[in-house]
Amino acid sequence: MNYHIKFRLVVCLSMFAAIIAFSVSSYAEEGETSVEHEAGVYYTVQKGDTLWDLSHQFLDSPWQWPGMWSENSQIANPHRIYPGDRIRLFQRKDVDKWIEKDLDKEVVIEKEPLYYFYSSIDKIGFIKKEPVTPSGTIFEVKDDKEMISKGDLVYIRPNENTSFIPGSKFTVYRTLKPLKDRKTNSYIGIQHYLTGIVEITKVEPKFAVASVIGSFRPVEVNDLLIPYIKRSPQIILTESKKELKGKIIVSEEHASIIGDNTVAFIDKGNMDGVRPGQGYSIFYQEKKQLDPGTKGDVYLTPVNFGTLLVLHAEETTSTVLITSSEKSIYPGADIHFPLR
């Protein structure tokens, strides 16, 4: 087992004390179905590996290999595993409620031995300095429904530079109010809040008709469209940026208190060396007076109380998942490397 695999596992064990149980709330009027997804960490068997060795490497004891075997029913003979086989090291199942119609199934593509599987990757939004240029706008819904959900038909007004094609898919979103730093009041960016997926069914001279095939949150008239790009649910674990320090801007749903399994945004992005699959600690650092007779203060040693995983990175911000927290997290909380 090479150093990089060992490093990724250490990161994994540090960050994923709590594997997600992230439930996607839906507002379907009818036809709501529950689809069971898996969230976990996997390893791809290399030449020379045995369950005995993997158990010793990842679970600290070779004698735990029967448990690893029982968690991987695809292995017929525990004494015979082959390069390319996928072994589940840690697993927790979650049930995401999707309002969907004929969405393409996720295809697992093995790129690296260790990755975090996040089934709700398509619904996470992002923050950009400038809003993206939309492909079109929902200007009407068939039958004037107040709540737009699975199977509903919506009417799209295209952008001047957009030509719709039947069968093409688009992510539906809306932009929220500009975000500013809580202390300095400096401009951060615009949050893009994803609400669903539509598929173009018919194109008229001045508008297009689309069917709602997925709804993460209530879709509304005046929501915008951008081309749908299928994202892999595999978040490859990678080395974090050393000495990085930043802050949590806000949770995706703008909750006043942030807890485990919550999607949030941080004020660091690609320009700062942040990449998907990196992990960071959430910490606090108290300032105390060293000597009552003097005016000098000192900062005490930082105390880590939570972890997060980067799901998506923009230039100056990133979308993250809070993977564990020992106390309530508030917007503005500090983050850094190393992991605890």
Tell me the pLDDT tens digit for each residue of 278-332: 999 999 988 887 777 777 788 888 899 999 999 999 999 999 999 999 999 999 9
Q: Which two tokens stand for residue 302?
A: 């930082």
Residue 302 and residue 337 in contact, taking contact as beta carbons nearer than 8 Å: no
Mean of all residue pLDDT scores within the chain = 82
Q: Do residues 164 and 116 both lie within one domain?
A: no
Element (H, E) at 8: helix 3-15
Residues 104 and 156 in one domain: no
Q: Are residues 117 and 157 in the same domain?
A: no
Q: Say whether both 83 and 116 belong to one domain.
A: yes
Q: What is the pLDDT of residue 178?
A: 96
Query: What is the average per-residue pLDDT within 247-267?
Result: 95
Answer yes or no: is pLDDT of 215 > 90: yes
Q: Do 210 and 198 meet the contact criterion of CB atoms below 8 Å apart?
A: yes
**90 and 113 part of one domain:** yes
Single residue among 236, 258, 293 that ends a domain in this structure: 236
- Looking at the predicted structure, is the pLDDT value of residue 97 above 50? no
Question: Do 21 and 93 reside in the same domain of the chain?
Answer: yes
Residues 86 and 17 reside in one and the same domain: yes
Q: Which residue range(s) make up the domain with 260?
A: 245-336
In sequence order, the 6+-apart residues with CB closer than 8 A to the CB of 110 are: 44, 84, 86
Q: How many domains in the chain?
A: 3
CATH number at residue 162: 2.40.10
Phi, then psi, of 123 in degrees rounded to 5: -95, -5
User: For the residues 258-279, what does the mean pLDDT come to?
Assistant: 95
CA distance 71 to 14: 21
Residues 147 and 172 grouped into a single domain = yes
Q: Which of 236, 262, 282 delimits the end of a domain?
A: 236
CATH code, 25: 3.10.350.10
Residue 254: pLDDT over 90? yes
* Cα-only R_g, the chain: 23
Core vs surface per residue 216-228: b (16+ CB within 10 A) or e: bbbbbeebbbbeb
Same-domain pairing of 115 and 180: no
- Residue 54 is inside which H or E element, if any? helix 51-59
Query: Are both 111 and 13 inside the same structural domain?
Result: yes
Specify whether the CB–CB gap between 329 and 259 falls below 8 A. Answer: yes
Q: Which of 197, 227, 257 is the last residue before a domain boundary? A: 227
Domain identity same for 138 and 58: no
Q: On the CB side of 45, how many CA atoms lie within 13 Å of its CA?
A: 20
For residue 289, give both structure tokens.
């007076």
Rounded Cα gap, residues 330 and 222, in angstroms: 31
Q: Are residues 134 and 200 in the same domain?
A: yes
| Among the listed residues 13, 9, 15, 4, the one whose alpha carbon sits nearest the alpha carbon of residue 304 | 15
3-state secondary structure of 144: helix
Q: 179-180 and 234-236 as β-strands: parallel, antiparallel, unpaired?
A: unpaired
